[in-house]
Structure 1
Amino acid sequence: MLRDLPLPLSRKQIASIVESQSAPIALWSGAVSSGKTIASLIAFLIALVAAPDHGLIVVVGRTLQTIERNLIDPLQSKHLFGPLADHVRHTTGSTTATILGRTVHLVGASDARAEGRIRGSTIALAYVDEATLLPHSFWMMLLSRLRVGAESRLLATTNPDGPFHWLRRDFLLRGTEVGLTNWHFTLDDNPSLDPAWVERLKAQYTGMWYRRFILGEWCLAQGAVYDMFDETRHVVDLMPYMRRWTAVGIDYGTTNPFSALLIGQGEDDHLYAVSEYRHDSKTALRQLTDAEYSRGVREWLAAVRRPGEHGAARGVRPEWIFVDPSAASFMTQLWTERVPGIAPAINDVLDGIRSVSVALGSGLLRIHRSCTGLLGELPTYTWDEKAAERGEDKPLKVDDHSADALRYALHSTAHEWRGLIDYEEATGAAA
């Protein structure tokens, strides 16, 4: 099977593939893009051929969509798997696939309720994508379902998390006791990567994210969330002409502050937090209704001065207005008033923080000095160390309203702006 693969494999990848065939629980962990997924998928295909006929074959990920993107799509790539790709059949949205003639069940496990999807099953072979993102209870239920004696196997991949995460605490550090074998990968273990691309990838991450996703360390989330924020680098008084008014992010609040941030793409292809609208009911001694907030946002956007244009040109129409998804009544108010471009923000907190970190760390994002609410929050936005000791990465929910608005706007449009990063600039700044 290995001879049919078009991509080169490192010695570590080959060793992990061979050694994993005798491991009850095999785990590939380490840096992003380090070759661990390809090695684990090859090991899975070999294990699939040898799996007993009785018992289910399951592939588990956070959602069905992530399974399709992270696993099924690569397996169907002839660039990666050559002629083996012809033997992977799947209809988008289906919860089963046919791989090498075997029926494979695809199980999304985004919360603890997902364990009901495998309860009562007898599983012969399981593959888990991004194990640290699974609920602990689901992982334990999955282990209990591996009931085909010594022939049952579990293969898994993960990027590192905090050092107190249950996967490290209860399994990695007790590997011999629980039958787990782990292979740790770094970027240097992937022989198929272009060195220039590796440098660009390194430029995307700073601080904790660099240690976890580039160095592959299990490190604690502590201190400032945006430890790469530097006023001298990120805060500006002058802005160029905006070729796009990309988005507004809105964090809704009644007793807490209501914050809206306007993001534009300048003619220099940097992103700018151009202007901020903020209402703090505690300071103003008055709460506003949804209709009043809607009017306030519309009047604010109509009054925003457009930089880089002659005269005092004012008024912008952003392509998108991303609203805190829990603020259903406010979104309904905006829709009723036919405000264009309204959509619920993508509210994956950690992924969103990573997107903001990439924008700040690469130097892509700059913030106008008038955004005082955001500039007051970014330096003091910190990780919850008590949560970290429980194995959870969570920021403290204190003074985070403008920071959340920024996260909504940037993460919801990340697929559009990542290509704007100047990696030479980012690499030089990191150095």
Structure 2
Amino acid sequence: MFDALVGKQLRSTQLATARGNLWEGAVRSSKTISSIMVWLRYIRTGPPGALLMVGKTERTLKRNIIDVIVSMVGVRRCKYKAGAGEVIIFGRTIYVAGANDERAADKIKGMTLAGAYMDEVTTFPESFFSMLGTRLSVEHAQWFGTTNPEGPNHWLKKKFLDKARLHVRRDGTEVVSSDPKALDLHRFSFSLHDNPYLPPAYVANLKLEYQGLFYKRFVLGEWCLAEGIVYDMFDEAKHVVDTLPDIRHWMCVGLDYGTINPFAALLIGIGSNDKLYVASEYRHDSRAERRQLTDAQYSQGVRQWLGSYKHGGGEGVTPQWIFVDPSAASFMTQLWTDGVQGVAKANNDVHDGIRSVGVAIGSNLLHVHRSCKGLISELPSYAWDPKAAAAGEDKPLKIDDHSVDGLRYGLHSTAHEWRHLIRLEDLETAA
């Protein structure tokens, strides 16, 4: 069962009458459900002709939208044809596609469309979005889309949303543009408060999921620049420790491979107090030490480092995983050759990885032993690239990022093992 639409949710379905209609803002703010309701109505009452549904990938489209529609109308009225690139809703065949790179525009060349639904529009290449506009050539064709905010210089905001004819703002006010060049586009901006059905405990946990930049975008619904320090929640006085508790589980090593650049590996464990600890760091800077090491020498160095680590009266640790920079294929082969267990490619999603690290730091779950000098020096200075932000992209500066990359590899690749350790009282203390 789905709750009845109220407030801005309902109002957006009434105002989605433009050629383009986009719901944007905070996560879990009900923008997706509102847009789906309009799309289902359009499938039944819109003009005849071909329809298209698009996501970043076909898989994410199915997970985010099609599965939700199935739960709303049942499998008889919504049949997804895996591998065929189609879904049948209310007896109407709809093409489905992913738009995750510049080649995506080729998928829709030559199409004549009567309507389209788009999920995660900010993840699309601009070329695909522009091409789709030319394909919606059936009379009275409309498109409907959803997205979370990105930077204010993102192409979607600058070229389209800022030129919308109607904007229902986060505070609920409705602004109609007087600009004669305004686009036939209605924009609905949602905040977390626009979904009154979310339980307070769930909202509190949602806020745990996002820190810093991502809190502003995905909780507050702001289109804000990625600027300043990435991990601005890091406080050396709070997060750096001189002693460690008993470590009940040596979870992983996060390893950033470098030859000319520094090589950094971090040993991460879960303490008896259910906190995360970066217990030790192995680091080699070829430039500073004027000695470049081979894969075999790095492998030996890592094995000696782990084998000689002393803690709790014992010597030597065997972490469950060693997550390596995915680009370092030859080094992973060397570790396997040397019999090292648990070697795996790290999850190298930069944005989601930064979010995982931010959550761990911001909730006071993560602590760093004072001996990890490389990481402690990099965390306070790891910054967003202002030139990339001005171009509409979110990228950290590739300066002094070797230990912080190793931390991201380790924490993001094991997020499923430690996220349940975050407690609401830790968030309150961090605030």
Secondary structure, counterpart of 2:210 in structure 1: coil
Equivalents in 2 of 1:386, 1:402: separation in Å?
23
Checking the alignment, whether the CA contact within 8 Å between 1:9 and 1:191 is kept in structure 2 is: no
Q: How does 1:182-261 map to 2 (within 5 A)?
A: 182-261=187-266
Secondary structure, counterpart of 1:215 in structure 2: coil
Equivalents in 2 of 1:234, 1:59: separation in Å?
46
Judged with a 3 Å threshold, the aligned counterparts in structure 2 of structure 1 residues 88 and 257 are, in CA distance, closer, same or farther, namely: same
Give structure 1 stretches of 5+ with no counterpart.
none
Judged with a 3 Å threshold, the aligned counterparts in structure 2 of structure 1 residues 256 and 111 are, in CA distance, closer, same or farther, namely: same
Judged with a 3 Å threshold, the aligned counterparts in structure 2 of structure 1 residues 86 and 424 are, in CA distance, closer, same or farther, namely: farther
Deviates more, 1:88-97 or 1:360-369: 88-97
For residue 344 of structure 1, what is the aligned residue in structure 2?
A: 345
Judged with a 3 Å threshold, the aligned counterparts in structure 2 of structure 1 residues 24 and 294 are, in CA distance, closer, same or farther, namely: same
Judged with a 3 Å threshold, the aligned counterparts in structure 2 of structure 1 residues 68 and 245 are, in CA distance, closer, same or farther, namely: farther
The letter for the 1-side match of 2:202 is W
1:205 to partner: Cα distance? 2.6
1:91 to partner: Cα distance? 5.6
Judged with a 3 Å threshold, the aligned counterparts in structure 2 of structure 1 residues 414 and 68 are, in CA distance, closer, same or farther, namely: farther
1:266 is the counterpart of 2:260: no
Equivalents in 2 of 1:241, 1:8: separation in Å?
51
The letter for the 1-side match of 2:98 is G
1:126 to partner: Cα distance? 1.5
1:66 to partner: Cα distance? 1.7
1:373 to partner: Cα distance? 0.6
1:25 is the counterpart of 2:15: no
Secondary structure, counterpart of 1:149 in structure 2: coil
1:68 aligns with one of 39, 51, 62? 62
For residue 277 of structure 1, what is the aligned residue in structure 2?
A: 282
1:174 to partner: Cα distance? 0.7
For normalisation by structure 2, the TM-score amounts to 0.92
Judged with a 3 Å threshold, the aligned counterparts in structure 2 of structure 1 residues 370 and 211 are, in CA distance, closer, same or farther, namely: same
Judged with a 3 Å threshold, the aligned counterparts in structure 2 of structure 1 residues 418 and 108 are, in CA distance, closer, same or farther, namely: same
The letter for the 1-side match of 2:365 is L
1:286 is the counterpart of 2:276: no
For residue 153 of structure 1, what is the aligned residue in structure 2?
A: 142
Checking the alignment, whether the CA contact within 8 Å between 1:200 and 1:427 is kept in structure 2 is: no
Judged with a 3 Å threshold, the aligned counterparts in structure 2 of structure 1 residues 244 and 76 are, in CA distance, closer, same or farther, namely: farther
For residue 13 of structure 1, what is the aligned residue in structure 2?
A: 9
1:36 is the counterpart of 2:31: yes
Deviation per residue, 1:238-258 (Å, 9 max, x gap): 222222222211111110001
For residue 403 of structure 1, what is the aligned residue in structure 2?
A: 404
1:162 to partner: Cα distance? 0.9
Judged with a 3 Å threshold, the aligned counterparts in structure 2 of structure 1 residues 398 and 418 are, in CA distance, closer, same or farther, namely: same
1:18 to partner: Cα distance? 2.2
Checking the alignment, whether the CA contact within 8 Å between 2:325 and 2:409 is kept in structure 1 is: yes
For residue 102 of structure 1, what is the aligned residue in structure 2?
A: 92
The letter for the 2-side match of 1:50 is T
1:335 to partner: Cα distance? 2.5
1:49 is the counterpart of 2:54: no
2:308 aligns with one of 303, 310, 313? 303
Deviates more, 1:202-211 or 1:174-183: 202-211
Deviates more, 1:256-265 or 1:8-17: 8-17
Judged with a 3 Å threshold, the aligned counterparts in structure 2 of structure 1 residues 196 and 347 are, in CA distance, closer, same or farther, namely: same
1:87 is the counterpart of 2:92: no
Checking the alignment, whether the CA contact within 8 Å between 1:34 and 1:187 is kept in structure 2 is: yes
1:338 to partner: Cα distance? 3.3
For residue 174 of structure 1, what is the aligned residue in structure 2?
A: 163
Secondary structure, counterpart of 2:97 in structure 1: strand
Equivalents in 1 of 2:155, 2:118: separation in Å?
15
For residue 168 of structure 2, what is the aligned residue in structure 1?
A: none
For normalisation by structure 1, the TM-score amounts to 0.92
Root-mean-square deviation (CA, aligned residues, Å) is 1.7
1:278 to partner: Cα distance? 0.8
1:121 aligns with one of 107, 111, 120? 111
Structure (1 or 2) with the greater helix fraction: 1
Identity over aligned pairs, percent: 54
Secondary structure, counterpart of 1:265 in structure 2: strand
Judged with a 3 Å threshold, the aligned counterparts in structure 2 of structure 1 residues 23 and 37 are, in CA distance, closer, same or farther, namely: same
For residue 164 of structure 1, what is the aligned residue in structure 2?
A: 153
Judged with a 3 Å threshold, the aligned counterparts in structure 2 of structure 1 residues 93 and 68 are, in CA distance, closer, same or farther, namely: farther
List structure 1 segments (4+ residues) > 6 angstroms apart after TM superposition: none
The count of corresponding residues between Structure 1 and Structure 2 is 415
Deviation per residue, 1:249-282 (Å, 9 max, x gap): 1111110001111111112111111111111100
1:93 to partner: Cα distance? 6.2
Equivalents in 2 of 1:204, 1:62: separation in Å?
22
The letter for the 2-side match of 1:40 is S
The letter for the 1-side match of 2:130 is M
For residue 323 of structure 1, what is the aligned residue in structure 2?
A: 324
For residue 418 of structure 2, what is the aligned residue in structure 1?
A: 417
Equivalents in 1 of 2:79, 2:300: separation in Å?
52
Judged with a 3 Å threshold, the aligned counterparts in structure 2 of structure 1 residues 417 and 8 are, in CA distance, closer, same or farther, namely: farther
Checking the alignment, whether the CA contact within 8 Å between 1:203 and 1:427 is kept in structure 2 is: no
Secondary structure, counterpart of 1:296 in structure 2: helix
Secondary structure, counterpart of 2:310 in structure 1: coil
Deviation per residue, 1:327-380 (Å, 9 max, x gap): 121122223333222221111111111111111111111111111111110101
Secondary structure, counterpart of 2:146 in structure 1: strand
Deviates more, 1:92-101 or 1:164-173: 92-101
Secondary structure, counterpart of 1:27 in structure 2: strand
1:42 to partner: Cα distance? 1.4
Checking the alignment, whether the CA contact within 8 Å between 1:26 and 1:155 is kept in structure 2 is: yes
